[in-house]
């Protein structure tokens, strides 16, 4: 069986590890592209003209990745995904090479958990875009999905951007455990950067905490 080559577009270098550690290397190899500057642009892109500049930049990156001989492209940054939503923009840029937004497999798995969930974020800038896409995804399936959102304490996501990954994971784990204790609904971690903390919160509580990496593995099996 030939190894499938994935082009992975990240908003932060820390996301590389999750793909490298979480995928079967006998089935997939990864070519990584990182542009943390786009996150800062998206955070400040209140003006429509600035938003269009970021969209054009991201489409250019996808076109560049598509030219590297990849079998599929994985977008791991929820900010990027929301900026290019609907993802027809992404498919136009890649000339038909499949584009997997990391939140879409996660949406599918989330809907399997039942009719409601608490969706946890550390980056407040990505809440609106992700939840809008989740509601649209549920509607396409004829579902009335009830979701609550929860955002970690201010400054948590900045720890990640500053390279304080251990402190970030520790704070996110405590955040998720608190949500599990207070809610009767399932808790889901919305961002790839929350993967380690979600696994630790699962182990500590015995409750499932759905993360995007779990769902992505299932989706990639279709490419094999």
What's the mean pLDDT in 189-201?
Answer: 93
Q: Is the pLDDT of residue 68 over 90?
A: yes
Q: How confident is the model at residue 94 (pLDDT cuts 50, 70, 90)?
A: confident
The mean pLDDT of 206-224, rounded to a whole number, is: 84
Q: What mean pLDDT comes out for the span 111-133?
A: 90
Measured CA to CA, the distance from residue 103 to residue 81 in angstroms comes to 8
Q: In the predicted model, what is the mean pLDDT of residues 88-113?
A: 83
3-state secondary structure of 60: helix
Comparing CA positions, the residue from 134, 150, 153 lying closest to residue 189 is 150
The number of beta carbons lying within 10 Å of the beta carbon of residue 90 is 25
By mean pLDDT, which of 53-57, 108-112, 168-172, 198-202 is the weakest?
53-57
Q: Is the pLDDT of residue 57 over 90?
A: no
Both structure tokens of 174: 């405590």
Q: Average pLDDT of 22-38?
A: 87
Contact, 191 vs 78, CB < 8 A? yes
Of 41-50, 107-116, 139-148, 172-181, the one with minimum mean pLDDT is 41-50
Q: Where are the alpha helices (DSSP H) in the chain?
A: 15-22, 37-44, 48-66, 78-83, 88-94, 103-112, 127-140, 156-161, 165-182, 195-205, 212-220
The pLDDT value given to residue 92: 67
pLDDT band at 202 (very low <50, low <70, confident <90, very high): very high
Domain 4-102+215-223 sits in CATH at 3.40.50.1860
Say which residue the tokens 């977008």 belong to.
Answer: 75
In the chain, % of residues over pLDDT 70:
90
What are the extents of the domains in the chain?
Answer: 4-102+215-223, 104-212
* Domains 4-102+215-223 and 104-212 are alike in CATH topology: yes
- Given this model, what pLDDT does residue 176 score? 97
What is the architecture of the domain spanning 104-212? 3-Layer(aba) Sandwich (3.40)
Q: What is the pLDDT of residue 25?
A: 83
Per cent of the chain over pLDDT 90 is 45
The pLDDT of residue 224: 66
């Amino acid at each position: 069986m030939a190894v499938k080559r994935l082009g992975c577009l990240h908003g932060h270098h820390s996301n590389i590890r999750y793909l490298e550690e979480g995928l079967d290397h006998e089935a997939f190899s990864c070519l990584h592209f990182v542009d943390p500057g786009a996150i800062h642009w998206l955070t400040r892109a209140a003006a429509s003209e600035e938003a269009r500049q970021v969209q054009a930049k991201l489409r250019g990156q996808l076109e560049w990745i598509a030219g590297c001989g990849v079998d599929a492209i994985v977008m791991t940054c929820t900010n990027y995904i929301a900026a290019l939503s609907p993802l027809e923009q992404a498919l136009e840029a890649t000339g038909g090479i499949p584009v997997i937004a990391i939140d879409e497999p996660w949406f599918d798995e989330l809907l399997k958990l039942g009719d409601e969930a608490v969706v946890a974020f550390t980056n407040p800038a990505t809440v609106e875009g992700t939840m809008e896409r989740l509601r649209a995804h549920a509607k396409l399936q004829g579902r009335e999905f009830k979701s609550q959102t929860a955002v970690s304490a201010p400054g948590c996501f900045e720890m990640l951007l500053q390279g304080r990954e251990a402190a970030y994971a520790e704070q996110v784990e405590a955040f998720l455990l608190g949500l599990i204790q207070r809610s009767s609904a399932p808790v889901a971690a919305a961002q790839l950067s929350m993967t380690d903390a979600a696994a630790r919160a699962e182990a500590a509580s015995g409750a499932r905490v759905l993360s995007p990496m779990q769902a992505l593995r299932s989706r990639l099996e279709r490419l094999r």
